[in-house]
Structure 1
Amino acid sequence: MRKIGSFFYTLYFLIGAVIYIVFYGAIVLFIGFLIGLFNKNLSRRFVVGQIETFGRMAFKLLGIKVYVYGEKPEIGENYLVVANHQSALDIPLIIGYVAPVAFIAKKELGKVPGINWFLKYLGSVLIERGNIRKTAMALKEVVKKLNDGVHFILFPEGTRSPDGSILPFKNRSLEISYKYKVKILPVSIWGAHEVLPKKSLIIRRKPIYIKIHELVDPNQFDSEEELREYVRNVIIEGVKFLEGRNLNEKSNS
């Protein structure tokens, strides 16, 4: 009986996501277009604000409680959001509760109606995997956009963790930050792997916890490896903190 309930719960989410992304998204972009006829900066702020709202509403409509600890920095300079990766839900989670970030995504996503519109507005960069020359050009575009004030998200583990544990960070995964001296905003996530596990399409109604840490300055480190290990340890400590909060919630329920 529980599996049947989870199935319909997931179906409700997928239908709602399609309606929002394709239909409501088209309305948002049309309004953004009209605003852009008079003020392009205002138009972009409107559309990005709507995307951020969708990130939060996705969890509220699912009845999933999101507990947020820490605050995003109130500064003008730019930063990379670096988080552990537990679920496909990490993306709307980051967009809604941390910052409307851009992505370094596969080129194929640029062909998906609805998704490609929002990728464009967020300033995402699409990479053609296997093409070294075009990948190098894409990374140069990432650096340019970072300098222009666009936030990007990185998942240095390179894949989703099946049980929530922090996987090793890929070698040179924070090279952009270290080489171009872009500050890092570490983010710890716990519980998303229980809501939508890896290799599963069934959504479960469980709480998600997120901790936003202090900015990390790459100028304080002698190598990318040292920076990478420090950021990983910050995220690990954050996950331990969130696990403790999760256990407290269970014991009090």
Structure 2
Amino acid sequence: MIRQLLQTAFAGTAAVGLTGVFSTVVSVLSLRDAKDADGALTLWARSVLASAGVRHEAVGVEHIPADGHVVFVQNHQSHYDALVNFAHIHKHTRYVAKAELFKIPVFGAAMKLAGNIPVERTGGAGDRARLSDAVKALRERVSVLFFAEGTRSEDGRLRPFKKGAAMLAIQAGVPVVPMAVSGTRLILPKGGRAVRWGQRVALVVGEPIPTQGLTIQDRDALTRRLEDAVAQLYAEACKRSGDVP
């Protein structure tokens, strides 16, 4: 018990301290060019994961196209998901994230300066305008990652996917890369207070799904295809992490 308390205290203190330092670094680097912050984000992610003793691996990263931009679509289990992604995806990528995260002092400013996209998740005019901006950004300068379930899964079971990722990819005319992560929900369960030190985490990346020739009328079919692809990848990720819901 004492050991677990000490590990949790260390992981929590390190995460807060590292995030504070790197938020400032990312903000400064992003003032010139958002791409300049990519290396700092990778180092931040790997450092926070190490502070919690997380053992992480990624397979299938060779499927990520070296050229051009893509929409990444992934399941969502934990705040640690983004850390695992930054640690292993070496492609200029930013997130579609809930607007509340952008209100966190220092961290929120860094997210905005780095080029992440806030959404209220209400489906209102503001969200539609931001997604329209995201289409332009996706075509011109950055790949975008969606947590397609819209919220974290507490029990590890996949939830129905939202249509936003499919719509964005079709409108921008870029491929969609499905991914799945497993094990992160056990590091610090939603509502939990103790970090599970040494948790195994796996990220599995699938082959790109093209969107050329698709129209908005195809968004439902593409969304179902993405659900199926992520489900298959998730099954492999669960085996690798040892977390089988």
Same-fold call, TM > 0.5?
yes
Secondary structure in structure 1 of the residue aligned to 2:195: coil
Q: Which structure would you say has the larger Rg?
A: 1
Q: 2:210 aligns with which of 213, 217, 221?
A: 217
The CA deviation at 1:244 is: 2.7
The CA deviation at 1:8 is: 3.1
Letter in 2 for 1:16: A
The range that moved more, 112-121 or 47-56, is: 112-121
Match of 1:97 in 2: 88
Match of 1:145 in 2: 137
Match of 1:184 in 2: 176
Structure having greater relative contact order (Cα 8 Å, sep ≥ 6)? 2
Question: Using a 3 Å threshold, how does the CA distance of structure 1 residues 168 and 29 change in structure 2: closer, same or farther?
Answer: closer
Match of 2:77 in 1: 86
Match of 1:232 in 2: 227
Deviation per residue, 1:92-129 (Å, 9 max, x gap): 11122124532223333333222123313431122345
Q: Distance in 2 between matches of 1:202 and 1:61?
A: 14
Q: Distance in 2 between matches of 1:131 and 1:225?
A: 17
Question: Using a 3 Å threshold, how does the CA distance of structure 1 residues 172 and 141 change in structure 2: closer, same or farther?
Answer: closer
Kept in 2: contact 1:123–1:145 (CA 8 A): no
Percent of pairs identical after alignment?
A: 22
Question: Using a 3 Å threshold, how does the CA distance of structure 1 residues 129 and 82 change in structure 2: closer, same or farther?
Answer: closer
Match of 2:55 in 1: 65
Query: RMSD in angstroms over aligned alpha carbons?
Result: 2.6
Q: How does 1:15-26 map to 2 (within 5 A)?
A: 15-26=13-24
Q: Distance in 2 between matches of 1:63 and 1:10?
A: 10
Letter in 1 for 2:158: I
Match of 1:241 in 2: 236
Q: Distance in 1 between matches of 2:118 and 2:162?
A: 20
Kept in 1: contact 2:73–2:165 (CA 8 A): no
The range that moved more, 85-94 or 165-174, is: 165-174
Structure 2 spans left out of the alignment, 5+ residues: none
Structure 1 spans left out of the alignment, 5+ residues: none
Secondary structure in structure 2 of the residue aligned to 1:174: helix
TM-score with structure 1 setting the length: 0.82
Q: Distance in 2 between matches of 1:147 and 1:115?
A: 26
Q: How does 1:170-181 map to 2 (within 5 A)?
A: 170-171=162-163, 173-181=165-173
